[in-house]
Structure 1
Amino acid sequence: MNDTRPAVHAAPIWLGVLLIVTGAAGLLGAFSLSVERVELLLDPQHTLGCDLNPFLTCSGAMESAQGSAFGFPNPFIGLMAFPAPIIMGALTLGRVAMPRWVWTVFSIGVLGGLVFVLWLAQQSIFFLGFVCPWCFLVWMAMYAMSFPLWVWGFGSGALPAPSGLRRTAAKVSSWGWVLSLALAVIVVVTIMVVLPGIPRFLFSGF
């Protein structure tokens, strides 16, 4: 049977806005961490603005082995990767229809990013025992970006999927944010439970 799905797909405006906002948020986090990393290299005694307490610290994350997972600082990955969703979002707002292979490659990249930040969150919470504030912003940006993109992609046919999954995704194409919100809540609750010093610090002024 011939595939009757269109060869090119123009994403909805809301997805374009989401990709730009989350891409910009992730890029802000990556840029801020990169600047802080350079400052720390220039002056190892420098106190970073995001070192709030032993449980909320950027320098601890940067100086850990997990902070250079591929042999160089992780923020450099964000500097290279986060322009991609911004560009995709801008093309979407321009009503540019893109081939399925473009959406597929982009979605695979987003999946790789999500897996990476989930691993970093797991390492940070359960092994290092602290959370980097700028890293947390990057995590949230990836959570917010991922599921709405995939649900729309599967439902519209922009991403390859079995017909059953495609029909289901099409019915809930604008509700992917629920999955993103659920993942964000799970991570935040995990942080609060495993690292009780964070909520004590956040609510110490009340």
Structure 2
Amino acid sequence: MSDARPTRFAAPVWLGVLLIATGAAGLLGAFALSVDKIELLSNPQAALGCDLNPFLSCSGAMESEQGSAFGFPNPFLGLMAFPAPIIMGALALGRVALPRWVWTVFSIGVLGGLVFVLWLAQQSIFFLGFVCPWCFLVWMAMYAMAFPLWTWGFGSGALPAGAGFRRFAAPLQSWGWVLSLALAVIVVVTIMVALPGIPRYIFSGF
């Protein structure tokens, strides 16, 4: 008896829009940081526009050991990675059905990106003691992208999972944003508590 389950999956339009928007936001952050990194290399004394105060600093993040986690500036990794969700989103808007392995590989990449930005957030908040504004945009883009992708993928069968888990995930396909929002709130609250200078700076009207 043949397996009637589909092997190719077209993402819904809302997910395509989300992937394009979050991919573009992440690419914007990575591009801005790359430009600033090149500026610092050519002029180490340059004053960057995103160096707002001791608690909000891009140059501090880029000059730290964590800013080159793989031996080269982290923003260059973003320039290579963020076109992927934009392409996947465009294919979703075109209603292109992709094999399960494509969605699986893409989702694994998103998982790696999420783990990486969570590590960077932890290092930034608890070890460096400041937050890079452009980095924060990249973090939020990854949070917003990840959970809606996974809830749709598991619920629709685009990602491999057992039948019981698929039945559980199916009604939650369009509710991944709740998990993304919860993670974003947790990170923001952690920043506010661990780095009280940031809310004081914000509420003082700069």
Rounded to whole Å, the distance in 2 between the matches of 1:192 and 1:3 is: 52
Q: CA deviation at 1:59?
A: 0.3
Q: 1:57 aligned to 2:54? A: no
1:113 is paired with a residue whose SS is helix
C-alpha distance in structure 2 between counterparts of 1:3 and 1:178, whole Å: 34
Write the mapping of 1:85-164 to structure 2, written as runs, cut at 5 A: 85-164=85-164
Instruction: Tell me how far 1:139 sits from its aligned partner.
Output: 0.1
* Alpha-carbon distance, 1:172 to partner: 1.1
Query: 2:6 aligns to what?
Result: 6
Residue identity matched to 1:47: A
Query: Residues 32-78 of structure 1: CA distance to partner in whole angstroms, max 9, x if unpaired?
Result: 00000000000001000000000000000000000000000000000
Shift, 1:19, TM fit:
0.1
Change (3 A) 1:116 1:2: farther
Distance 2:76 2:158 in 1: 30
The equivalent of 1:27 in structure 2 is 27
Q: Following TM superposition, where does structure 1 have runs of at least 4 consecutive aligned residues deviating by more than 3 angstroms?
A: 1-4
One-letter amino acid of the counterpart of residue 202, structure 2: L
Go from structure 1 to structure 2 and tell me whether the alpha carbon gap of 1:164 and 1:52 turns closer, same or farther (over 3 Å shift): same
**1:167-205 CA distance string (max 9 Å, x none):** 111011110000000000000000000000000000002
In the alignment, the residues of structure 2 paired with residue 2 and residue 167 of structure 1 have an alpha-carbon distance, to the nearest angstrom, of 21
Q: Is residue 79 of structure 2 the alignment partner of residue 83 of structure 1? A: no
* Inter-partner Cα distance in structure 2 for 1:164 and 1:76: 40
**C-alpha spacing 1:163/1:2, structure 2 compared with 1 (3 Å):** farther
What is the TM-score normalised by the length of structure 1? Answer: 0.98
Residues matched between the structures, number = 206
Question: Which letter maps to 2:69?
Answer: A
Q: Which runs of 5+ in 2 are unaligned?
A: none
Between the aligned residues of both structures, percent identity stands at 84
* Amino acid in the other structure paired with 2:77: I
Letter in 2 for 1:174: S
2:173 is the counterpart of 1:173 = yes
Deviation of residue 162 (structure 1)? Answer: 1.6
Aligned to 2:195: 195
Deviations 1:80-136 (A, max 9, x none): 000000000000101100000000000000000000000000000000000000000
Q: Matched residue of 1:186: which SS? A: helix
Cα distance between partner residues in 2 of 1:117 and 1:5: 35
> What SS is found at the alignment partner of 1:167?
helix
Q: 1:94 to 1:55 in 2, by over 3 A?
A: same
CA distance in 1, matches of 2:3, 2:80: 35
Correspondence for 2:17 = 17
Q: State TM-score, norm by structure 2.
A: 0.98
